[in-house]
Amino acid sequence: MAWREQILKSLKKNSRLPYARYAQLATVREDGRPANRTIVYRGFLQDTSKLTFVTDRRSKKIGELRANPSVELCWYFPQTREQYRIAGTMRVVKVDDEDEAMLRARGEAWKRMSDGARSQFAWPFPGIERGVDDSAFSPDPVTADLPPLEEFCLLVLDPERVDHLSLKSNERTVFSRSSEGEGEPTAWDRLRVNP
């Protein structure tokens, strides 16, 4: 997975910018229009080529992903002037997921977050009209020893195609998954294309 090593290298070279971990996730709404929002990269799933994120079960992307799990993540690294376009399918891991390993990964992602980020899952329903009482946005600290709130979901992106562009060198490489054999290591084709 040459592209995975490349992303880890990009993360390192951009590490002085906290927002280098922010990327934009595109999904398709149930009416066929695209949706696009910023999301925070939360690491690869162990040593796989799957990328993880977290979200609130009440957010609109949950329904969008149920109807159409196809996504494209666009990730721009300002320091190195690189763009990755990562297309694939997104799996949502909720509190009642039947896959033990995925539930464990969800629990670990919960523990790795800050108290502040965790407490957002106790906030009022996102996106609806805001009331006058702001106290609900300052809940008691949600510490790592508490189990994940039910609203907390892990997102796992399984890439099928990664398009890497360097604006510095004008090099562009497209990686495409070429085999999907169960248990076998995934093979990737690599093509140098015009920028």
Please give the residue ranges that form the binding site for a copy of itself (CB under 8 A): 17, 19, 22, 24-28, 32-38, 68, 70-74, 76, 78, 83, 85, 87, 123-130, 137, 170, 172, 174, 191-195
Least spacing, CB of residue 193 vs a copy of itself, in Å: 5
**C-alpha–C-alpha distance, residues 101 and 9, integer Å:** 27
- Among 172, 170, 164, residue whose Cα is nearest residue 83: 164
CB of 31 to a copy of itself, least distance (A): 9
Minimum gap (Å) between residue 15 Cβ and a copy of itself: 15
Nearer to a copy of itself, 88 or 105 (CB): 88
The residue (of 10 and 105) whose beta carbon lies closer to a copy of itself is 10
Six token digits for residue 133? 């009482």
| First-to-last C-alpha distance (Å) of the chain | 21
Classified as helix, coil or strand, 119 is: helix
Cβ-based nearer residue to a copy of itself, 1 or 65: 65
Residue placing its CB nearer to a copy of itself in the complex, 43 or 124: 124
Smallest CA-to-CA distance from 73 within 171, 189, 157, 190 is with 157
Q: Do residues 172 and 165 touch, judged by C-beta distance below 8 A?
A: yes
